Copies of this chain bind each other. A is one copy, B any other.
Amino acid sequence: MNTKPAPSTPASTSLSIGELASASGLRASAIRYYEDAGVLPKPSRISGQRRYHADTADLLMLIRFCTRLGMPLSDIRGLLATPRGPRAKEHWRRLVDGKLDEIAALIKAAQGVERVLHESRDCDCVTLASCRFLHEERAKPRPSRSRLSFHDALQAELI
């Protein structure tokens, strides 16, 4: 709301929860909730009040980004907090690789919806539910059982 040059702020590297909230676009209540959920590390305190490093805004952005992608907070906590010494590195990598696979699938899914929507945009169908582009893949000249691209992507990538 205000862009005043930090009149009552201690230092430029330290943010109050309110300042972090406006820096990140999240509400203070959400930030506290993330802390409770173990997603955000517990910050230092000055006379009881939370003090954050400015970097924390980036972290919050990443969290927001991930939740936006449908990732549960428990997974995000796993990604952010998993420590990795030499022993745990393999576990960490498997975790990240799994997430990368999920994200790749999500992108594929999004592109599928994008395609259907784009093709049906100028179609003359009465509603999207009856649009030929939604069902056409099935009708393609393919033997019997196997389903095709969009349908296939859904089955294979998402379920």
Of the candidates B83, B99, B117, B137, the one whose C-beta lies within 8 Å of that of A127 is: B83
This chain's copy number in the assembly: 2
Encode contact with B along A141-159: 1 for CB under 8 Å, 0 otherwise: 0000000001100110011
Encode contact with B along A117-146: 1 for CB under 8 Å, 0 otherwise: 110111000111100001101100000000
Of the candidates B120, B122, B151, the one whose C-beta lies within 8 Å of that of A58 is: B151
7 A-B Cβ contacts within 8 A?
A55-B138, A62-B134, A64-B158, A81-B128, A93-B122, A96-B120, A100-B121
**Closest 10 interchain pairs by CB?**
A61-B154, A25-B159, A80-B129, A96-B121, A80-B128, A55-B135, A107-B110, A103-B114, A58-B135, A65-B109
